[in-house]
Structure 1
Amino acid sequence: MKKAWINMFLIDITPKNHELYDPIINQSIDNYLINDLKLPGHGLICYINRPSVIIGSAQNSFSEVDLHYLSQNNVDLVRRTSGGGAVYHDQGNIIFENIISGSLKHCSDYNYFAEPILSALEEMGLKDGHVSAKSALVANDHKFSGMCMVKGKDGYAAGGTLMFDMNITNARQALTPKKRDQVTRGVLSYDRPIANLKNLLPDTYQQMSTEAFKHELLLHLFHVKHWADIPTYHLTNADWDNIHELVAKKYGRNVWNYGKNPGYQYYSSRKISQGQLHINFATTDQKISAIKVFGTSMTSGAADALEQALLGATLNSDSLKKNLAQTIFGNSKKLTQLIIEMLLKPENTHKINI
């Protein structure tokens, strides 16, 4: 039985002046659509990201993600505005977002948003697809999609990720060791193993690229035979200008993606000859009360030593210089001065909302 969302239209997010698979841009689009553009009715966006890890708004990037792996393998770290766990994306995944403006009807109703997806996949040959554990899409006792929702000012987004041909090995490597074993059972899902959709579908679809499968899926979702028959809103030049402004002010900044971690009010990052240096810290009475350091070319031992040396230090140049002298970083006047500058002129992670 065909199930469809009523009066749904596609929102064309074909890129303007950026790469098709840019996860930061793509993650920013739904925020713009919900909070700023507010197209009336029920819009749908559907896209693919290059390799990236998407973390929840309240997650700690240092504990959820293997930042060294991300740096060494050109995997982007992107923080979304909604909650939830860390999810790995690559060009074997399809992300779909229902954009609802002017109404909260069906908000939190995962079945409402899952049924048309499952119906379309059933038409394409998926057997026994259903919703499990409130927001997971499952077939053959394997999870192939997780869904989430986020409320905006006068509407919400409801969507998820369809694992069509995801590299599960890379997904495991991108997460911290304590999370990796969970991926074999479900990309931070504790109850079921995961599977790629292409292995659950007929041979015709197993031979398709992810882009080709996305195209076919949308035809089935809209119950049309030709792409031109899909009702579509095309983002305008003004829309793209607004989206790029949001990226520049918030969603594309390190202080948002790397630095807005619970318990750390301040953040600094600098490019150095060996890569990138990130420092998250909190203060009490002008002393460093909590600190986390990550350097793309720094060993975990060196980062730990730097954290231990700076914990409790008073935030003035002389005190910081004295503490840094106890570490290998004290041997470099240039690096010592850089770290002091990062600690004395940080960004406030509590003041980056726009």
Structure 2
Amino acid sequence: MYYVKNERNGKEIHDPKLNLAIEYYLLNEVKLDESILLFYINNNSIIIGRNQNTYEEVNTTYVEENNIDVVRRFSGGGAVYHDMGVLCFCFITEDDGNSFRDFKRFTSPVIDALHQMGVNGAELKGRNDLVINDKKFSGNAMYSKNGRMTAHGTLMFDSEIDAVVKALKPKKHKLESKGIKSIRSRVTNIKPFLEHSYQCMNAKTFRDQLLLYLYDTDSKENVKEYVLTDKDWEKIDAFAAEYTDNWDWNYGKSPEFDMERSDRLSVGTVEVKMNVRKGNIDVIRIYGDFFGLGEIEDVEDELTNIPYTKEAITNALNKIDINKYFGSVDLSELVDLIY
């Protein structure tokens, strides 16, 4: 496995727009003979899931007043808060057809490393959360394209939890589904659970220690690296300009909708907004924190310009593989949400 440092001219990058651009550049264009590991630590930012409605996930007033970047990633899942106390990890590998949504495969090495540092209660719980004593310290997501995939996540090492609470706007039914009353009640940092000998670490030294555990070595000199070149950076900059540093990508224009439906389904939160004109679906947008392959626009296209009837919606969804786009969802629950 190759390790890639997110450094430019010897200086570590903390700009989330560039760090996400590095990640997707490695996924799309850098094909090595082994998988790739990337770590990065971002300045204060909110990273939005591919299919989420930015305005409804983010406390825009707080974000603007505190100069917090908002960047949309390419994978599904929910919004997460990043700061200098959060370590982000990313595994990039070939998609073998069986690994997508297999979060255990990619999080187990991280959990094992945490166990070695004394965090014995760390475990994978639910579809994609890492927890300590049922409190979440890591959210994970995946994205697959052209036979390659990235599995990435956050590790809340020593994050400002109050900022997390203020910056995000979780949906009420999402909180209720987990039997909790607030974000603060279900998140925690890793640092308090580490053995005493590790308490002096910050997120960067924690990253360095985690790197040694993942590579089973006592020295970083034994870690195989791929070093980003000037040509790599040209493409990374171009990618950032088109996507991660582009307002239309991160926020996007959202028309006014006549009808809105939102619920917590078996695959996560799914939200549908649409305009119905003369009995037909004129415009429809689908948002959510579900994990899917392909572009959700394919589903929206099938549902556009059809009668707003249960039969027509069912027939349209039967034309596509809904499990590809949403995960293992029942057709009936999806139809009931839309209709």
**5 Å matches for 1:174-213?**
174-176=167-169, 182=175, 193-213=186-206
Separation in 2 of the partners of 1:188 and 1:199?
23
Instruction: Indicate if the aligned counterparts of 1:24 and 1:252 stay in contact, CA closer than 8 A.
Output: yes
Q: Which residue of 2 aligns with 1:151?
A: 144
Alignment pair present for 1:250 and 2:261: no
2:117 aligns with one of 118, 124, 131? 124
Instruction: Indicate if the aligned counterparts of 2:6 and 2:12 stay in contact, CA closer than 8 A.
Output: no
Instruction: Indicate if the aligned counterparts of 2:5 and 2:38 stay in contact, CA closer than 8 A.
Output: yes
Separation in 1 of the partners of 2:182 and 2:9?
35
Q: Which residue of 2 aligns with 1:65?
A: 58
Q: Which residue of 2 aligns with 1:85?
A: 78
- Using the TM superposition, give the Cα deviation of residue 242 of structure 1 relative to its aligned residue in structure 2, in angstroms: 0.5
Q: Partner of 1:98: helix, strand, or coil?
A: strand
Whichever residue aligns with residue 75 of structure 1, its letter is I
- Using the TM superposition, give the Cα deviation of residue 65 of structure 1 relative to its aligned residue in structure 2, in angstroms: 0.5
- Using the TM superposition, give the Cα deviation of residue 177 of structure 1 relative to its aligned residue in structure 2, in angstroms: 7.3
Stretches of structure 1 that go unaligned for 5 or more consecutive residues are 1-7, 265-281, 291-354
Distance of aligned partners of 1:70 and 1:179 in 2 relative to their CA distance in 1, 3 Å threshold: farther
Stretches of structure 2 that go unaligned for 5 or more consecutive residues are 258-274, 284-339
Separation in 1 of the partners of 2:230 and 2:98?
31
Q: Which residue of 2 aligns with 1:26?
A: 19
- Using the TM superposition, give the Cα deviation of residue 17 of structure 1 relative to its aligned residue in structure 2, in angstroms: 9.3
Separation in 2 of the partners of 1:186 and 1:240?
45
Whichever residue aligns with residue 108 of structure 2, its letter is E
Q: What fraction of aligned residue pairs are identical, expressed as a percent?
A: 37
Instruction: Indicate if the aligned counterparts of 1:186 and 1:193 stay in contact, CA closer than 8 A.
Output: no
Q: Which residue of 1 aligns with 2:106?
A: 113
- Using the TM superposition, give the Cα deviation of residue 224 of structure 1 relative to its aligned residue in structure 2, in angstroms: 0.8
Instruction: Indicate if the aligned counterparts of 2:113 and 2:214 stay in contact, CA closer than 8 A.
Output: yes
TM-score, normalization by structure 1: 0.66
**5 Å matches for 1:1-354?**
8-16=1-9, 20-101=13-94, 103-176=96-169, 182=175, 193-259=186-252, 261=254
Whichever residue aligns with residue 238 of structure 1, its letter is K
Which structure has the larger Rg? 1
- Deviation string 1:291-327 (CA, Å, 9 cap, x unpaired) is xxxxxxxxxxxxxxxxxxxxxxxxxxxxxxxxxxxxx
Distance of aligned partners of 1:260 and 1:114 in 2 relative to their CA distance in 1, 3 Å threshold: farther
Distance of aligned partners of 1:115 and 1:186 in 2 relative to their CA distance in 1, 3 Å threshold: farther
Whichever residue aligns with residue 230 of structure 1, its letter is V
Separation in 2 of the partners of 1:56 and 1:126?
28
Instruction: Indicate if the aligned counterparts of 1:163 and 1:195 stay in contact, CA closer than 8 A.
Output: yes
Instruction: Indicate if the aligned counterparts of 1:172 and 1:180 stay in contact, CA closer than 8 A.
Output: no
Q: Partner of 2:164: helix, strand, or coil?
A: helix
**CA RMSD after TM alignment:** 3.3
- Using the TM superposition, give the Cα deviation of residue 229 of structure 1 relative to its aligned residue in structure 2, in angstroms: 0.8
Q: Which stretch of structure 1 is more off in the superposition, 99-108 or 168-177? A: 99-108
Separation in 2 of the partners of 1:15 and 1:200?
33
Distance of aligned partners of 1:187 and 1:124 in 2 relative to their CA distance in 1, 3 Å threshold: farther
Q: Partner of 1:232: helix, strand, or coil?
A: coil
- Using the TM superposition, give the Cα deviation of residue 112 of structure 1 relative to its aligned residue in structure 2, in angstroms: 1.0
Distance of aligned partners of 1:18 and 1:70 in 2 relative to their CA distance in 1, 3 Å threshold: farther
Instruction: Indicate if the aligned counterparts of 1:11 and 1:232 stay in contact, CA closer than 8 A.
Output: yes
Q: Which residue of 1 aligns with 2:314?
A: none
- Using the TM superposition, give the Cα deviation of residue 10 of structure 1 relative to its aligned residue in structure 2, in angstroms: 0.9
Q: Partner of 1:242: helix, strand, or coil?
A: helix
Separation in 2 of the partners of 1:168 and 1:180?
21
Distance of aligned partners of 1:260 and 1:222 in 2 relative to their CA distance in 1, 3 Å threshold: farther
Distance of aligned partners of 1:261 and 1:115 in 2 relative to their CA distance in 1, 3 Å threshold: farther
Distance of aligned partners of 1:37 and 1:179 in 2 relative to their CA distance in 1, 3 Å threshold: farther
Instruction: Indicate if the aligned counterparts of 1:88 and 1:174 stay in contact, CA closer than 8 A.
Output: yes
Separation in 2 of the partners of 1:60 and 1:100?
29
Distance of aligned partners of 1:145 and 1:31 in 2 relative to their CA distance in 1, 3 Å threshold: same
- Using the TM superposition, give the Cα deviation of residue 23 of structure 1 relative to its aligned residue in structure 2, in angstroms: 0.3
